[in-house]
Homo-oligomer: A and B are copies of this chain.
Amino acid sequence: MAGNSFGNIFKLTTFGESHGIAIGGVIDGCPSGLKVDFQAIQNELNRRKPGQSEIVTQRKEPDTVEFLSGIFEGVTTGTPIGFVIKNTNQKSKDYSHIKDVYRPSHADYTYEEKYGIRDYRGGGRSSARETACRVVAGALAKQIISDIKINAYTSSVGDIFLERPYQDLDFSKIESNIVRCPDAEVADEMINRIKDVRKAGDTIGGTVTCALQNVPVGLGEPVFDKLHAELGKAMLSINAVKGFEYGSGFCGAKMMGSEHNDLFNEDGSTKTNLSGGIQGGISNGMDIYFRVAFKPVATVIQKQNTLDKFGNIVEMQGKGRHDPCVVPRAIPIVEAMAALVLADFYLLNKIYN
């Protein structure tokens, strides 16, 4: 109810604040008998971690996950998997300047209003640091649905767009540059833009596109828990996300039915795929693809007026080591959340087969 769990069958519950002792989580419902690839999990964490390149925050945190339960001699036992990631880089003093201040477009004000108290250090619970736990669980989920290919990449930074559709891209190139755009030329533009933005003490938004391939037919529950509705919720629950569209998306709203309909082949596949691999909330075996919009990071290294908890407008100077653009580090998070949704529906669907 309090919103810290995700999934029904494969269920993740997370806890932890940015500058507390540790963040962590519990994965309940992981099937037994899975030989865990720990390195694959750590690799995903490394894709998300701070300090990995010159265009992300320069905080240094190893983000090493420690599993406490549910895995015996390297194999899952069917019991809950508890894990922690210690917070090793807690420069709490960094944040004394925001103790009594609500940073614009952050969650400081709403947390304080809702709870009457907040752990102001680094944003506390509202920090995107929480997403490291999602990456851990998502990396495990990927191992359950290992036949499904999940690939996310940066499709825009500001007004620099990768115009080519996902089908034309070589996903093996995603990790070949620090902005995680599979087109080298566009990637360079994006990287330069982010560097410029950083130099200006500013931040910039962007979009992530994600393709889910080789998804079995039949995933998703119709009516309220449609596959794309859960994917949408999953993505919108990521910090800084402002929009989600799948298949034809907002463009589809401009189209006519006669051009939008996906005609069938004899094997049940479709000639086009404006539906985005989902019909009536259920996967149809075609590629699922969607796009996620991220706003620019709210922390800018510029003077801004803001409100303190005593009702005064005060001037504050952003500092700390923040991301000029979240999108490169959001790639593994988008993939993790997609994996959580798919693994959950995949397991649920086994009931009926």
Question: Which B residues lie within 8 Å of A252 (CB)?
Answer: 205, 242-243, 293, 295-296
Chain A 90-102, CB-CB to B under 8 Å as 1, else 0, gives 0000000000001
Contacts of A243 in B (CB 8 A): 243-246, 249-250, 252-253
Provide the bound-state CA to CA distance between A75 and B25, in Å: 21
Are B218 and A77 closer than 8 Å at their CB atoms? no
Listed stretches A45-53, A55-63, A166-174, A254-262; interface member = A254-262
* Nearest CB in chain B to that of A102: its residue: B264
Interface check A195, CB cutoff 8 A? no
Q: Are B4 and A279 closer than 8 Å at their CB atoms?
A: no
Residues of B within 8 A of A118 (CB): 72, 77
> Smallest distance from the beta carbon of A170 to chain B beta carbons, Å?
24
Question: A: which residues have CB within 8 A of B?
Answer: 1-6, 8-9, 11, 13-17, 20-26, 28-29, 31-33, 66-70, 72, 75, 77-82, 84, 102, 104-107, 109-111, 113-119, 124-126, 130, 156, 158-159, 197, 202-207, 217-218, 220-226, 228-230, 232-234, 236-237, 242-250, 252-258, 260-268, 270, 274-276, 278-284, 293-300, 302, 304-307, 311-313, 347-352
Chain B residue contacts of A23, Cβ below 8 A: 68-69
Q: How far is the CA of A348 from the CA of B78 in the complex (A)?
A: 13
Q: Choose among B114, B232, B284, B300 the residue that contacts A110 (Cβ–Cβ < 8 A).
A: B284
With a cutoff of 8 Å between Cβ atoms, the chain B residues found around residue A256 in the complex are 158, 197, 202-205, 296
Chain B neighbourhood of A114, CB < 8 A: 78, 217-218, 282, 349, 352
What residues on B are CB-neighbors of A32 within 8 Å?
Answer: 115-117, 352
CB of B261 within 8 A of CB of A237, answer no
Chain B residues positioned under 8 Å from A126 (CB to CB): 222, 280
Q: What's the Cα separation between A33 and B222 when bound, in Å?
A: 17
